[in-house]
Amino acid sequence: MSDLKIVYHPHPALRWKSKDVTRIDAQLKEWIGQMFDLMYEARGIGLAANQVALPYRLFVINPTGDRDDTEMEQVFINPQITKRNGSEEGEEGCLSLPELYGPVTRAEKIVVEAFDLSGEEFAMELTGIHSRVVQHESDHLDGVMFTDRVTDKVKTGLSPLLEDLEQQMAHQQDKGDLPDEDAMIAELKRLEAERT
């Protein structure tokens, strides 16, 4: 398989409800390495598998966004948010929605359980930006974008930018630089079947 790329709205991978990872092997580790690279290149702090058109429940984060701060790198495989407390509004963006930002209300404190790259289960209590990024990335695995969680008024303000992205994708499909939607969906189904 060729190198992964970040996909943008309205790629169907971003609306995919992904299935659990069933095995952690060399291929999965290779993809995760590429996901960290793409995340840093795009100056992000989190990247979900859906955003590189992989239909599996995993994401990577580094809340500092600093490539040299490898201690802050974390991989979440088959994550589940088991507790949510309080609520807090904060500005969010998304590498699959370039130039779009908006206020999103999230739980203030969460407990997340997941598996790491060695297949060990772990649980963490998170607050602040760490809590927000995990909630944002977990949403991606269910095909939910932050723009689904903004107020109608904010959404109206963002709609011209969403339409621009839709036009850009249509244009790339017309030129043959991107496959059409049916082919994108067929590829997601193929990848899903390959690892379930």
Q: If you search the block for the tokens 């580094």, which residue do you land on?
A: 62
Task: Give the nearest distance from C-beta 147 to Co ion in angstroms.
Answer: 10
From 86-94, 158-166, 170-178, 187-195, span contacting Co ion (CB under 5 A): 86-94
Name the DSSP class of 71: G
Q: Residue 141 corresponds to which amino acid?
A: L
Catalytic residue among 137, 181, 187, 192: 137
Q: Indicate if 187 belongs to the active site.
A: no
Tokens standing for residue 160: 């011209």
19 with 56: CB under 8 angstroms?
Answer: yes
Q: Counting contacts by CB under 5 A, is residue 141 touching Co ion?
A: no
From 30-38, 79-87, 92-100, 114-122, span contacting Co ion (CB under 5 A): 92-100
**Which of 94, 107, 165, 191 forms a contact with Co ion (CB under 5 A)?**
94
From 6-14, 67-75, 90-98, 156-164, span contacting Co ion (CB under 5 A): 90-98
The phi, psi pair for 193, rounded to 5°, reads: -65, -30
Angle at 28 (CA atoms; ends 23, 33), nearest 5 degrees: 150
Decide whether 94 or 114 has the Cβ nearer to Co ion.
94
Task: Give the nearest distance from C-beta 134 to Co ion in angstroms.
Answer: 12
Tokens standing for residue 41: 């290149």
Helix (H) or strand (E) holding 166: helix 152-175
Among 7, 11, 12, 103, which residue's Cα sits nearest to residue 47? Answer: 7
Decide whether 28 or 94 has the Cβ nearer to Co ion.
94
Task: Give the nearest distance from C-beta 96 to Co ion in angstroms.
Answer: 6
Q: Which residues bind Co ion (CB under 5 A)?
A: 94
Catalytic site residues? 137
